[in-house]
């Protein structure tokens, strides 16, 4: 977590990948943690059942529970932290399998596909506002990249329109990691979701929350209210920050690679593949939840002992030349590459991003419409001046000034 690594994660993790592919390091205020940087090893950490997400299930690992310590430092009381620190992503089979099965019954491919026309309409309305601000400069993060996914996820889940501005504030407070505002925002969100569950139970609609309430498996198993609150929180948090920064990062990538942008302008059929390559090349999520070795594991020439924490470094795996020839080159016509299902920007294995299809759809609709609508779209600052936030685990811009 050195300033050098935060300033240049591609170069820094790239050096690790070539010189010390599985290496012990410090992770934020926690640690020590094994950093795993090669594509094959990253996939092993994410899919091999010898690595688990819940430290409480491994003797000796609980002391390494960085999230628990983080919640304490942020002043989040225990009755609230369980919603954030004990969600779907913190569970292992069979609990994880059960949760994922129940949520997948209502968060379906069909539901995402049905949402497409709404994503297009929300995008078009935001672009109208941008056009009104022409010629700019405007901050694309604030005016477009952020409002789009938060509106979409609220609509999907069923957060009433009137409550969305305050949800946006709460969402920001949660990702701010600021102990002065985070606990109150979390409490307000939890209370609000409980209240919403009550209202939807009394009068169901066709939103995801009503679906979650209705869902049960063939044995009659259902999600508890606490599980639903945690799920909704996870969906809203995981579903907007990430997608917003995919849109921001990908816009910069295209504007600084006019040859690739030209290909897309000439042949719109390239868009789905382009979004996949943009996720590989400038995906917003660099690190994932820590995993813990459930038993001693040999990996990359070292022995990871039972109970030790492991960090899979997605950004490095996606640039591993063993999988991606000429990995530094942005090539929107690149075949998916990687093993089977391609890059690991959305993770891999049982915890593979639940919202990947939605994120891809939003990314494609947003970028395609933005590029079509504003043929003169340009960065309003020199690319070297862009304000990349130096935060561990994420690639994101504080602001993105453009002219339209
Ligand atoms: C999991 C990335 C958008 C919901 C993940 C993981 C990654 C990821 C890397 C795996 C984490 C791990 O294994 O520790 C992204 C990126 C996105 C995005 C880069 C946007 C570009 C979304 C959206 C939603 C969402 C739109 C919801 C609608 C989730 C959930 C999980 C998850 C619920 C946990 C799944 C589980 O534990 O089974 N995401 N995500 N994500 N994501 Fe996303």
Q: Which atom belonging to ligand 1 lies closest to the Cα atom of 283?
A: 19
Q: Is the CB of 115 under 6 A from ligand 1?
A: no
pLDDT on residue 151: 92
Q: pLDDT per residue over 324-339, tens digit each?
A: 989 999 999 987 665 5
302 HSE (CA, 13 A, CB side): 15
Strand partners, 55: none
Task: Calculate how far, in angstroms, residue 352's C-alpha sits from the geometric centre of ligand 1.
Answer: 7
| Cα 8 to ligand 1 centre (Å) | 24
The pLDDT value recorded for residue 291 is: 95
Its CATH architecture, for the domain 3-403, is Orthogonal Bundle (1.10)
- Count other Cβ atoms within 10 Å, centred on residue 218: 5
Instruction: Find the 356 Cα to ligand 1 centroid distance in Å.
Output: 7
Tell whether ligand 1 has an atom less than 6 A from the beta carbon of residue 239: yes
Please tell me the predicted confidence (pLDDT) of residue 223: 92
Burial bucket for residue 152 (CB in 10 Å: 0-12, 13-18, 19+): buried
pLDDT at 341: 56
Residue 339 pLDDT: 56
Q: How far is the CA of 288 from the centre of ligand 1 (A)?
A: 9
Rounded Cα–Cα distance for residues 236 and 334 (Å) = 31
Q: Is the CB of 16 under 6 A from ligand 1?
A: no
Q: How many CB atoms lie within 10 A of CB 359?
A: 26
Q: Establish whether this prediction's ipTM goes over 0.90.
A: yes
| pTM beyond 0.90, yes or no | yes
Ligand 1 atom 36: residue of nearest CA: 351
Q: Which residues in the chain show pLDDT less than 50?
A: none
Please state the domain extents for the chain.
Answer: 3-403
Digit-coded pLDDT (tens) for 281-309: 999 999 999 999 999 999 999 999 999 99
């Amino acid at each position: 977590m050195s300033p050098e690594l935060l300033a240049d994660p591609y170069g820094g993790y790239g050096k690790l990948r070539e010189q010390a592919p599985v290496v012990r390091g410090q992770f934020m205020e926690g640690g020590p943690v094994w950093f795993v940087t090669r594509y094959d090893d990253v996939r092993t950490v994410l899919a091999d059942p010898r690595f688990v997400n819940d430290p409480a299930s491994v003797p000796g690992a609980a002391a390494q529970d960085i999230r628990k310590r983080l919640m304490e430092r942020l002043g989040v009381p225990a009755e609230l932290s369980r919603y954030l620190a004990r969600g779907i992503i913190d569970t292992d089979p069979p609990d994880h399998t059960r949760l994922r099965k129940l949520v997948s019954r209502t968060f379906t491919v069909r539901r995402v596909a049905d949402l497409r026309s709404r994503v297009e309409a929300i995008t078009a309305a935001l672009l109208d506002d941008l056009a009104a601000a022409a010629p700019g400069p405007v901050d694309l993060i604030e005016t477009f990249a952020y409002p789009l996914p938060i509106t979409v996820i609220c609509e999907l889940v069923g957060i009433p329109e009137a409550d969305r501005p305050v949800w946006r504030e709460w969402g920001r407070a949660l990702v701010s990691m600021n102990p002065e505002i985070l606990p109150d925002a979390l409490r307000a969100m939890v209370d609000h979701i409980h209240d919403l569950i009550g209202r939807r139970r009394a009068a169901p609609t066709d939103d995801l929350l009503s679906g979650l309430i209705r869902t049960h498996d063939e044995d009659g198993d259902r999600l508890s209210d606490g599980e639903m609150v945690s799920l909704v929180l996870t969906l809203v948090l995981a579903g907007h920050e990430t997608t917003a920064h995919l849109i921001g990062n990908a816009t910069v990538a295209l504007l600084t690679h006019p040859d690739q942008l030209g290909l897309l302008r000439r042949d719109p059929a390239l868009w789905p593949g382009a979004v996949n390559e943009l996720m590989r090349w400038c995906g917003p999520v660099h690190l994932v939840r820590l995993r813990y070795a459930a038993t001693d594991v040999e990996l990359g020439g070292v022995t990871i002992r039972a109970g030790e924490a492991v960090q899979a470094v997605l950004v490095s795996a996606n640039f591993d030349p063993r999988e991606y020839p000429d990995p530094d080159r942005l090539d929107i016509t690149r075949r998916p590459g990687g093993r089977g299902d391609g890059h690991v920007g959305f993770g891999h294995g049982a915890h593979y991003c639940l919202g990947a299809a939605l994120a891809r759809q939003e990314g494609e609709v947003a970028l395609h419409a933005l590029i079509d609508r504003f043929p003169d779209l340009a960065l309003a600052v020199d690319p070297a001046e862009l304000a990349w936030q130096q935060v561990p685990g994420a690639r994101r811009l504080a602001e993105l000034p453009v002219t339209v």
